Each structure stands twice: as structure tokens, then as C-alpha cells.
Amino acid sequence: MTLTQHDIDAEIAAEHAAYEKRVADGAPVEHHPRRDYAPYRSSVLRHPKQPPIAIDVTKDPELVELASPAFGERDITDVDNDLTRQHTGEPVGERITVSGRLLDRAGKPVRGQLVEIWQANSAGRYAHQREQHDAPLDPNFTGVGRTLSDDDGCYRFTTVQPGPYPWRNHVNAWRPAHIHFSVFGSAFTQRLVTQMYFPNDPLFPYDPILQSVTDDAARQRLIATYDHSLSVPEFSLGYHWDIVLDGPNATWIEEGR
Amino acid sequence: MTKIDTGSPEQVLPTPSHTVGPFYGYALPFRGGEDIAPAGHPGTVTVHGYVYDGEGNPLPDALLELWGPDTQGDVPTADGSMRRDPASGGFLGRNGVEFTGFGRIQTDANGHWYARTLRPGARGRSAPYVSVCVFARGLLVHLFTRIYLPGDEAVLAADPLLARVPAERRDTLVAADEGHGTYRFDIRLQGEGETVFLEFQ
């Protein structure tokens, strides 16, 4: 039977209602998606059914997961954070500047850590051979960027606005425009891979990946804010997006949390 | 609201995780990501295996990250896992001398992965292990697990984590010795023989 947007909408609504009821009944707020989220069909066979085993990091400060891999200046090049300058010509699309801070749960800056991004081009096409969407490739745009957070935890990328694109979760499924982010913290436990969205995208309610974050406030934290002060005159529009890493780090132990 | 007010800690809430999706392959993997051990190091071990879904099918689009100490149990502090070529913008790869402890490996079309790294040394109260972070299309939040190497049963028995894992699931965390410094470590995301995954608190 053909799976329609209407079917997926009903499943998304049911998952959302179930979450709201859990919270109303006293369950904790869920900042992350559940790995078992059927409206996103690819999750069905790829989530564990056994609960994870909890490790209390305060009991052993020597855990290797409390340290993080190091990345340095030799792991990036000067144009890595400017996706519009990686080819001989200019990519097609609306230029944007995306910037924000990398923070831990205590609100402290995460310094000198690797931030990687990848995205579709302005037509909604990834430079990936298995991509089936027949929108045009842009010879002047790959869509990969890297940078290190600075001493204030800040990162900054120049790129073009990615386009939305179709996928095959169900008939007429479209992903809202987004940029993929991969981020390291000061501890491997803080590792985060996620996606940043743009304000006011009409596709938000239809997308089972965004809606997998069932908490309304948490979902808002995935959406960047238009920031005129980041817009570069006669060049680009600015978006601000702060990233807060979850997971315990070594500071927790020092502070006795 | 994506400008975080760090002046009010109760407002500092985590950014939700999302799946890595199907198209990370031209962005995240890097040359030599699986060759973590310095060239010719006598402490080198090869670890390899498959990643399976709940129907036992291998995943051709999983991404693993490995992070482990050196043979003395020291945490590496060297950067340079993905050294870049400032002229071409490509990857130079590791220098074959320094040990960064970090590897990133994409499963191949058969769902198979491998890494050559240093046999980890013990740290703290734990038996030696390499930390693993699993990403995949369909996986909305990454999964942590550990690769323990077999050999010293007394050391494994004293490990605080292994001691807490139900006996019938414990072997999912211990690689199988295939001889010549090669170990097999399969990851089953769901179902029979499901790998033990970890949550740090």
C-alpha cells in the first residue's frame, strides 16, 4: 500500500501526543529524538530494542570517553569554512553566513574543537554519487566545510542557501532545507551530529526527521535565527545558530556534579 | 530561539541530535581514516567486522568512529588525523609517526569495516578497550559501544562495565581473536545478539 503524507502526518501527530502525555504524567522532557521513531521509516530496523547500559562517569575520571580527539590547524585549510571559494567559479545561489557558538551544558565555550558541515546545493542536490534527485549539480559547489571553534567557542561559515529536496520515505516526501553539522566537544561523550534548519520553512510539519524531536522547545533549537548583524553588506544574509553539546565532560567531575 | 543566553544556566539546553543521513560520504570520511596505528608499530592490531540491522542485513552506509589510548593507556593529544594539503585542499593523511587515537571508517558496500590501531593499554579501573561511536542513516541518535580485546580473562572479569552486563550479552563487547593480531567485532543494531550500547551520565 502506498504510504502518503497523510499517513505520515497521522503517525507524527500520534507520536507527538504520546510524548505530551508522558510529560504530563511526569516523565522527563526529551531533548533528543527516540531512536525508535517509525514515521522515519529507516529507523525501524536500525534502533536497539534493549535499553543502553548507563555509565556514571563520576566513578572513573580515567574513562577514555571523557577525553576527545584533538584537531589542529593542519587538519583544516584556509578556505574550508568558505564553501563559496572551493572551486574556480562562484556557486549558484543565495550566499549566506552561518555563525554561532559551541557551548557545553554549563554554557561554557567549547574551544578548539572540530566543526564539520555538509549540505545540498542551492537546487537541492548533494554532490554524492548515490543521490537520485535529478536537480542540477553545481560544478562550483561541493558543499563541505570545516573549521575549529575559536577561544569564545565561535564558528563561522560562508556558503549558499541549500535547497529543499525530495526523498523516498513516503510519496511526495520533501526535506526542509538544512545543513548537516558534526561537532566534537572536550569529551567524546559530547559527540553530536545534527542538522540546522532555516526559519519559517513551510516543510517543517511534514518532515518526520525534524518531527522526531517531539519536544516543541527542543525542535526550535534546531532552527537558526536570521541575524542582520551577521549579514555582510552586498554579499550574504546572516544566520545565527548556537550549539549546546549534551553529555557529561570532565568539568562535571571537577565541579562534583 | 537559537541564541543561547549563557547568563541563565537553566536556559542552556542541549541541541537535539539528528541522523547523519545517507549523504555524509563525501564530507566526513577522510583518507587513512582506518589506519590509526603509526606505520610499522609492533603494537598494531587489526579490528574488523560487519554492522547489521534488525533483519541481519549488513549496513552499507554506517559510519564508525574509534577513539582509544596508546599501548601504555595514555590518551593521545596529537592532532593530525586528517592532515590537509593547503595547495590542493585534499587530504595528506596521517604522517605515520604520531598516534592521534582517532579513526573514522565507513562500511563498504558489503557492510564491512576495518581499522588498524594500537592495542589499547589499561586506564583507571577498566580493562583495556577502544571506544566506538556508531552513526548511520536511520539512526536518529548515534550509539556508543566499546571493543574489548580477549586474552586476559581476569582483567576482563574485573572491568566495572563488563561485570554489570548480563552474561549472555557480554560477548557482544569482546572481539573474537582470529590470530595474527586480528580481531573480529560485529555490531548488531537490533534483535538477536544485539550489541550492548552505552549511555554516559
Query: Per-residue pLDDT averaged across A200-216, rounded?
Result: 98
**Which pLDDT tens digit goes with each residue over A13-34?**
999 999 999 999 999 999 999 9
- Measure in Å the smallest separation between the Cα of A19 and chain B Cα atoms: 16
Give the CA distances from residue A121 to residues A94, A161, A203, in Å, rounded to whole numbers and listed in that order. 10, 7, 18
- Alpha-helical (H) ranges within chain B are 153-157, 167-170
Flag whether pLDDT at B21 surpasses 60: yes
Contact A159, A83 (CB under 8 A): yes
Q: Cα A180 from chain centroid?
A: 5
For residue B154, the model assigns a pLDDT of 96
Q: Compare B6 and B184 and report the one with higher pLDDT.
A: B184
Q: Which residues of A touch B191 (CB under 8 A)?
A: 49
**Average pLDDT over chain A, rounded to an integer:** 95
Q: B21 to chain A: which residues are within 8 Å by CB?
A: 180, 195
Q: Which of B19, B123, B149, B161 to mutate to test the interface with A (most CBs of A within 10 A)?
A: B19
As for the ipTM of the complex, it is: 0.97
Q: Closest CB to B25: pick one of A128, A142, A245.
A: A128
Lowest mean pLDDT across B7-21, B104-118, B160-174 = B7-21
The residue written with cell numbers 542485513 in the block is: B57
Mutate to test the interface with B, among A41, A45, A73, A105 (most CBs of B within 10 A): A45
Choose among A110, A114, A116, A102: nearest CA to A70: A114
Query: The pTM is what?
Result: 0.97
The yes-or-no verdict on residue A4 having pLDDT over 60 is yes
What is the b/e burial string over B104-120, where b = at least 16 CB atoms within 10 angstroms of the residue's CB? bbbbeeebebbbbbbbb
Task: State whether residue B86 sits within 8 Å of chain A by CB.
Answer: yes
With a cut of 70, say whether residue B85 has pLDDT above it: yes
Asked if A106 and B9 count as a contact pair (C-beta separation under 8 A), the reply is yes
Give pLDDT tens digits for B24-72.
999 999 999 999 999 999 999 999 999 999 999 999 999 999 999 999 9
Residue recorded with cell 580515567:
A62
- Asked whether the predicted pLDDT for residue A97 surpasses 80, the reply is yes
Closest CA–CA distance from residue B151 to any residue of chain A (Å) = 21
Cα gap B122→A63, rounded to integer Å: 10
Distance CA A19, CA A29 (A): 9
Cell numbers representing residue A208 in the block: 518526520
Tell me which of B10 and B80 has the higher pLDDT.
B80
Chain B interface, best mutation among A29, A53, A210, by max B CB count within 10 A:
A53
For residue B11, what pLDDT is reported? 83
Judged by average pLDDT, the poorest of A48-57, A158-167, A196-205, A241-250 is: A241-250
Among A248, A214, A217, smallest CA distance to A36 is for A214
Mean pLDDT of all residues in A145-171: 97
- Three cell numbers written together for A255: 565541579
Specify whether the CB–CB gap between B108 and B114 falls below 8 A. Answer: no
Across A169-178, B87-96, B111-120, B182-191, least confident range: B87-96
Task: Specify the amino acid at residue A228.
Answer: H
Cell of B145: 559501544
Q: Which H or E run includes A240?
A: strand A237-240
Region A39-45 average pLDDT:
98
The residue in chain B having the minimum alpha-carbon distance to the alpha carbon of residue A115 is B28
Residues of B in contact with A240 (CB under 8 A): 2-3
Cell of B199: 549511555
The whole-number pLDDT of residue A255 equals 55
Query: What tens digit of pLDDT does each residue of B104-133 get?
Result: 999 999 999 999 999 999 999 999 999 999
Side-chain-facing half-sphere of A23: CA atoms under 13 Å = 11
- Mean pLDDT for chain B overall: 96
On chain A, the residues whose CB falls within 8 A of the CB of B122 are none
DSSP characters for B121-139? PP-TTSPPEEEEEEEETT-
Cell of A165: 529536496
Active site residues of A: 126, 165, 175, 178, 180
Which class is A5-50+66-244 in CATH? Answer: mainly beta
User: pLDDT grade, residue A252 (50/70/90)?
Assistant: low
Looking at residue A257, its pLDDT comes to: 45
DSSP letter string over A70-129?
A: ---GGGS-TTTTBTTSSSSSPPSS-EEEEEEEEE-TTS-B--S-EEEEEE--TTS--S-T
Would you kindly state where each structural domain of chain A is located, as residue ranges? Answer: 5-50+66-244
- The answer to whether residue A256 scores a pLDDT higher than 60 is no
Contact B117, B103 (CB under 8 A): yes
- In angstroms, the CA A180 to CA B18 distance is 9
Taking Cα atoms as reference points, which of A216, A245, A248 lies closest to residue A100? A245
Q: Closest partner residue to A49 among B6, B12, B190, by Cβ?
A: B190
Quick one: chain A helix, strand, coil %, rounded to 5?
20, 25, 55
Residue A38 pLDDT greater than 80, yes or no: yes
Give the Cα separation of B59 and B52 in Å (integer): 6
Residue in A154, A146, A159, A177 with CA at minimum distance from that of residue A96: A159
Question: What is the reported pLDDT for B2?
Answer: 74
The string of DSSP codes covering A179-196 is EEEEE--SSGGG-EEEEE
Can you give the pLDDT at residue A253?
Answer: 56
Q: Which of A60-69, A128-137, A213-222 has the lowest mean pLDDT?
A: A128-137
